[in-house]
Amino acid sequence: MAIYQSMQRVRFSSLDNYEKFKVVFADVRHHLMTLPGFLHLTWWIHPQDPTWHNEVSFWTSFEALKDWHLNTYHKHAKEWAVRSGWTSSLPNHPFGEWVHKSLGYKRVVTVAMDYAFGWEQVGGFQRTFEEAGGQVVQKLWPPLGTTDFGPYLAQIKRDADAVFAVMVAASSLRFPKQYQDAGLKARLPLIGGGTTFDEFVFPSLGDEAIGAITPLIYSAAIDTPVNKRFVKEFRTKYRKVPGYYAEASYTAARWISEGAKAVGGNVEDKDKFLAALRKVEVSDAPRGAIKLDAYGNPIQNIYVRKVEKKDGELWNTVIHTFPSVSQFWKYKPEEFLKQPVYDRNYPACKYC
C-alpha cells in the first residue's frame, strides 16, 4: 500500500471541479492517503458520491469541522476515515469557560475569518464563555484574504474586556501588528484561536504578539522529555521551532506506523488496517497522550498558551492544561450531536 500525502487547500465550488479531482487522484484508490491540511477545505465537503469514497482509506490530521463530522463522516466516511487532529471547536470549549473564570473577562468582542473554521472556533468559545456567565457583545467577520483590518478594528467596541481573534495563514502575520498599531493592544487584551499565534508565525512577529493567550493541542514549550527531544531534533533539521502543524503531521505518521505494526505490516488488508488504526493509543506524542473516542475523534490535552519572549525568541508558554479533552467537552455526546452546527449565526449574538 502506498501512502500519499496531499497538501491541497482547495474548496470545490462545483461538482465539475469535484469530478476533475477524482480523475487526478484516481490512482490512489485502495491506498491510504494523508491530508495534513484543513479538512473543511478539501474535496469531501461534497459527499454526493459516497460510493467512490468507500473504496479509499484516508488518514486525516489537523482540524476538522464538526459539520463535516456530523453530516459527512457519520453518513459516508466512518468506515474508512480516521482522524488524529481536532474538531474546530474542541480547544475553545474549555478555553471559553476558563477565560471567564480565570481571567475574569465578562464582555468579549470576536474577530474571526468569515468561513466555516472561523465560525466554529467562535461558536465553541462563545457557547462555554456565555454558559460560564460572560457575554460576547460583538462579532466581526473579515473575509478570507483580508489585508487591511483597519475597517474592522475601527468597529471594535472599546468597552469590552478583551478581543478574541481567529486568524489563519497570512492573516496571522497581519492582524497582530495592525491591532497594535491601532492602539488596541494596550487597551483590550488579545486572546483567540490557536492558529492565530501558532509557532510558524513567530519568526515574522515582534513584540505585538507578547501577552496573547490562545488554546491548542500543542505548544513547542510543553515541558516533557519527549517534546523537548522533538523540538531539539526539529530545530536541528529545519532551523525553526515546530508548531502544531509539524507536530500533528509527525504524530499522524507515528499513528500510521503503530497501526501498520499492529497488523504485522499487512496494510493491504484495508479492513484490518483501519480497525488497527482506530485502536491505536499514543501515550508519548510530543503533545501528550492521545487516543480516539467512540466516534473516531481524538481525546487529548488542550494547552492554554501565553506568548512570551525568552532569549530573544517568542514562545507559547503553557499556563494551564486541560487533560483528556474530547470533542464533546462536558456535554453528553447524544445531546451535543443534536444541536445545530456552529455557524455564522449560531450561537446567536444575543448581547450584541
Give 331-348 pLDDT, tens digit per residue: 999 899 888 889 999 999
Q: What is the model's pTM?
A: 0.85
For residue 124 the three cell numbers come to 465553541
pLDDT digits (tens, 9 = 90+) for 137-165: 999 999 999 999 999 999 999 999 999 99
More confident residue, 157 or 4: 157
What is the average pLDDT across 75-99? 81
Q: What share of the chain in percent tops pLDDT 70? A: 77
Cis previous bond, 340, omega within 30:
no
**Chain position carrying cell 468597529:** 155
Asked if pLDDT for residue 274 goes beyond 60, the answer is yes
Q: What share of the chain in percent tops pLDDT 90? A: 63
More confident residue, 312 or 2: 312
Assign domain 92-221+301-336 one CATH number from 3.40.50.12780, 3.50.50.60, 3.40.50.2300, 3.40.30.10. Answer: 3.40.50.2300
Mapping DSSP to helix (H, G, I), strand (E, B) and coil, where does residue 132 land? coil
Question: Domain limits of the chain?
Answer: 92-221+301-336
Which of 58-72, 190-204, 292-306 comes out lowest in average pLDDT? 58-72
CA end-to-end span of the chain: 53
CA distance 265 to 275: 14
pLDDT digits (tens, 9 = 90+) for 220-236: 999 999 999 999 999 99
Asked if pLDDT for residue 34 goes beyond 80, the answer is no
CA distance 324 to 138: 31
Mapping DSSP to helix (H, G, I), strand (E, B) and coil, where does residue 42 land? coil
Element (H, E) at 246: helix 244-262
Mapping DSSP to helix (H, G, I), strand (E, B) and coil, where does residue 297 land? coil
Instruction: Decide if 179 contacts 153 (C-beta within 8 A).
Output: yes
Phi, psi of 209, deg, nearest 5: -85, -20
CA distance 191 to 164: 5
* Nearest by Cα to 63 from 270, 245, 312: 245
